Chains A and B, each alone.
Chain A
Amino acid sequence: MRFLGAVVLLCFACSARAELIIEITGAGEHQIPLSLVHFAGEEKMVGQPISGVVTNDLLRTGLFKMIDPAGKAPHEPVDVKYDEWPGVDALVIGNVRSLDGGRVEVRFRLMDMVRRTELVGLSVTAKSEQLRAIGHRVADLIFEKLTGSAGVFSTRIAYVNRESKKYRLVVADSDGYGEQTLLALNEPILSPAWSPDGSQIAYVSFERGHASVFAQSLATRQRTLLADFPGSNSAPTWSPDGKQLAMVLTRDGNSQLYLVRNDGSDLRRITFSETIDTEPSFLPDGKSLLFTSDRGGSAQVYRVPVEGGSAERLTFEGANNFSPRPSPDGKYFVYSHFVDGVFYIAVQDFENRQMQVLTGGGWEKKPSFAPNGKLVLFATESQGRGILATVSSDGRVKQKMVAQRGDIREPIWGPFLKQ
């Protein structure tokens, strides 16, 4: 884990609605030299310029080296003089203009400066308040064309913001902007989990005096109480087909894994241990679950068939290992690795059992993969406050996102949304 680049600080104080300070450390092994010209007309729009949204998205991946256009300002392919851009592999140009009825039109092109051709172009009209969303969409297209992997800039994340005794379940853009509060309580909220189609979030709330499991629709805000047995009801996670959830109940004594339909019916117990079994997470094929158990004397990661049966221990290093979640391709799982009093984010290969610590350590908890598997989102602490952080899945590029208010906890990256 070498870190090539310097620290890049992106302070978005230019926007009156600034919510985050983003700090990036490290760089990918092979960075693509890219130049982005400010879009024509964007200075007339309200809010952060769209080219800034695109630039920041691409910078956060560590895969691009942004090269200053040095005063050159082409906005159409005919204006691009290829000989003027030595060392630039790809160039992004575009323009924005206002239409009637509060709508805007964005046009952008990605130019291949080596082959001297246009790689991709896009023209979108949308409401002016959706400019940021268009910026993320543009960044996704650029990322996909230049790296071959789907971009995750248009996806969303969920987390809990705790400010003294106030807890908010928050959904935000992948860069932490556009916060929407789904639920605000004076009692703890824990363990948000996205449904596979991104339409609902299941979570644990203490509003009934103990831990109960709810699911809530993002569109209608309607809530369903999924489990409210005596004791604790917790750790919900959706099956890949969205038809059922695994969760943890203490209704029969210890914390054990159960399956339930997504309407709360047809409860089935999966594990039968005398110890703590918790934090279930489906593998992408839906056939088995990762979970945390202290059945071996310390908290470690195990795997069990979804119909129940014998569990297999997967982690052996460190004092404890918590909160396993699989990669989207099912080849790896990420988890919180606790050793000598410090939490690290680690990833392990299912096949060869090799584990790799991705981070420098701290109060690093609750990791989850981005839906393209390239980044891992987790909770950590900076100057005594809970914050969001990401690390590339090879450990090379790290990013911290510091919110202006409250402690951020329990983050989880949402799925790709249907186009």
Chain B
Amino acid sequence: MKKIILSIILVNLLAACASEKTKDAVNEPAAAPATAAAQTAASTPASVESAPVSTGANAGASADATAPAERSIYFPFDVDAVQAADRATVQTHGEYLAKNKSAKVRVEGNADERGSSEYNLALGQRRANNVKKLLILAGAKSSQIETVSFGEEKPRCADHNEACWSQNRRADIIAK
């Protein structure tokens, strides 16, 4: 399943790297932006649940000397592939790193609490690693990116409900 999603991501990057991110439709990421790649993502067997509405305003801005503002990438339950709705965010960061060779980031993977602490640590690491792979595809160098997982240990929201869990299934791109 994950291999399928990863190959879809590659297609998406080739096809839609310049697409503007639509921010108002992410509640259903699988049915989100009407790009060819997003439709492909909708056909994947990922058990997609709701994802939170992102707050960044200028994620689609072209890469320049200013680091992108949108830093969080959200994931469905037990899924580690970057979803269509967040690819533009990652792409923008990757292009920024490509143009700013001295810039470095840390990608922090997180998971919701439904799993064991160790499984969630591993899941958060896969999420961070997958973001790193996309950053490299967008032109960043591996040496610019450190990945770390906090698993379920540093939740943004601590309640036992989907509204919280969706915020905690997240990778953050942090400037170093």
Q: Which residues of A contact B (CB under 8 A)?
A: 188, 190-191, 204, 206, 209-211, 230-232, 234-235, 248, 250, 253-255, 274-276, 278-279, 292, 294, 297-299, 320, 322-323, 336, 338, 341, 363, 365-366, 409-410
Q: Hey, which chain B residues are within 8 Å of A365, CB to CB?
A: 116-117
The verdict on A232 contacting B149 (CB below 8 Å), with A248-B122, A299-B115, A322-B119 known, is yes
The verdict on A254 contacting B117 (CB below 8 Å), with A206-B153, A231-B147 known, is no
Least distance between B6 CB and chain A CB atoms (Å) = 10
| 8 A Cβ contacts from B88-143 to A | 113-119, 121-123, 125-126, 129
Task: List 6 additional contacts besides A254-B125, A366-B117; criterion CB under 8 Å.
Answer: A211-B151, A278-B121, A322-B115, A336-B116, A365-B117, A409-B117
Choose from B78, B118, B146, B160 the contact partner of A292 (Cβ within 8 Å): B118
CA–CA, A210 and B123, complex, Å: 14
| 8 A Cβ contacts from B55-105 to A | 78
Q: Are A191 and B118 in contact (CB under 8 A)?
A: yes
| 8 A Cβ contacts from B138-175 to A | 146-151, 153-154, 160
Give B116's nearest chain A residue, CB to CB: A322
Contact with A along B1-28 (1 / 0, CB 8 A): 1110000000000000000000000000
Q: Are A297 and B119 in contact (CB under 8 A)?
A: no
Q: Are A323 and B149 in contact (CB under 8 A)?
A: no
Choose from B114, B116, B126, B149 the contact partner of A279 (Cβ within 8 Å): B116
Q: Are A255 and B125 in contact (CB under 8 A)?
A: yes
Q: Are A234 and B121 in contact (CB under 8 A)?
A: yes
Q: Hey, which chain B residues are within 8 Å of A232, CB to CB?
A: 121-122, 125, 148-149
Choose from B118, B147, B150, B160 the contact partner of A363 (Cβ within 8 Å): B160
Q: Which residues of B contact A (CB under 8 A)?
A: 1-3, 78, 113-119, 121-123, 125-126, 129, 146-151, 153-154, 160
Least distance between A249 CB and chain B CB atoms (Å) = 10
Q: Most A CB atoms within 10 A — which of B116, B123, B125, B149?
A: B116
Q: Hey, which chain A residues are within 8 Å of B150, CB to CB?
A: 188, 206
Q: Are B129 and A338 in contact (CB under 8 A)?
A: no
Q: Are A191 and B117 in contact (CB under 8 A)?
A: yes
The verdict on A190 contacting B118 (CB below 8 Å), with A250-B125, A274-B3, A275-B2 known, is yes
Q: Are A235 and B118 in contact (CB under 8 A)?
A: yes
Q: Hey, which chain A residues are within 8 Å of B113, CB to CB?
A: 363
Least distance between B123 CB and chain A CB atoms (Å) = 7
Sampled A-B contacts (19; CB under 8 Å): A190-B117, A191-B117, A230-B147, A232-B122, A250-B129, A254-B126, A255-B125, A255-B126, A276-B123, A276-B126, A279-B118, A292-B116, A292-B118, A294-B119, A299-B116, A299-B119, A320-B78, A322-B119, A341-B114
CA–CA, A235 and B119, complex, Å: 9
The verdict on A278 contacting B118 (CB below 8 Å), with A231-B147, A254-B126, A363-B160 known, is yes
Q: Are A210 and B149 in contact (CB under 8 A)?
A: yes
Q: Are A292 and B2 in contact (CB under 8 A)?
A: no
CA–CA, A209 and B147, complex, Å: 11
Give A409's nearest chain B residue, CB to CB: B117
Choose from A231, A234, A320 the contact partner of B118 (Cβ within 8 Å): A234
CA–CA, A274 and B153, complex, Å: 24
Choose from B3, B119, B160 the contact partner of A276 (Cβ within 8 Å): B119
Q: Hey, which chain A residues are within 8 Å of B3, CB to CB?
A: 274
Q: Are B1 and A297 in contact (CB under 8 A)?
A: yes
Q: Are B149 and A278 in contact (CB under 8 A)?
A: no
Least distance between B23 CB and chain A CB atoms (Å) = 29
Least distance between B107 CB and chain A CB atoms (Å) = 11
The verdict on A292 contacting B129 (CB below 8 Å), with A210-B148, A275-B2, A338-B114 known, is no
Q: Hey, which chain A residues are within 8 Å of B119, CB to CB?
A: 276, 278-279, 292, 294, 299, 322
Q: Hey, which chain B residues are within 8 Å of A255, CB to CB?
A: 121-122, 125-126
CA–CA, A209 and B116, complex, Å: 21
Give B147's nearest chain A residue, CB to CB: A231
Q: Are B116 and A323 in contact (CB under 8 A)?
A: yes
Q: Most B CB atoms within 10 A — which of A191, A232, A250, A255?
A: A232
CA–CA, A341 and B1, complex, Å: 22
Q: Hey, which chain A residues are within 8 Å of B117, CB to CB?
A: 190-191, 365-366, 409-410
Least distance between B134 CB and chain A CB atoms (Å) = 15
Report the 7 A-B pairs with minimum CB-CB distance, sorted nearest first. A255-B122, A322-B116, A188-B153, A276-B122, A210-B148, A323-B116, A235-B118
Q: Are B121 and A211 in contact (CB under 8 A)?
A: yes
Least distance between A231 CB and chain B CB atoms (Å) = 6
Q: Hey, which chain B residues are within 8 Å of A278, CB to CB?
A: 116, 118-119, 121-122
Q: Are B154 and A188 in contact (CB under 8 A)?
A: yes
Q: Hey, which chain A residues are within 8 Å of B1, CB to CB?
A: 297
Give A210's nearest chain B residue, CB to CB: B148
Q: Hey, which chain A residues are within 8 Å of B147, CB to CB?
A: 230-231
Q: Most A CB atoms within 10 A — which of B122, B146, B150?
A: B122
Least distance between A177 CB and chain B CB atoms (Å) = 25
The verdict on A248 contacting B118 (CB below 8 Å), with A206-B150, A232-B149, A363-B160 known, is yes
Q: Hey, which chain B residues are within 8 Å of A235, CB to CB?
A: 118, 121
Give A230's nearest chain B residue, CB to CB: B146
Least distance between B65 CB and chain A CB atoms (Å) = 27
Choose from A231, A292, A341 the contact partner of B148 (Cβ within 8 Å): A231
CA–CA, A294 and B126, complex, Å: 12
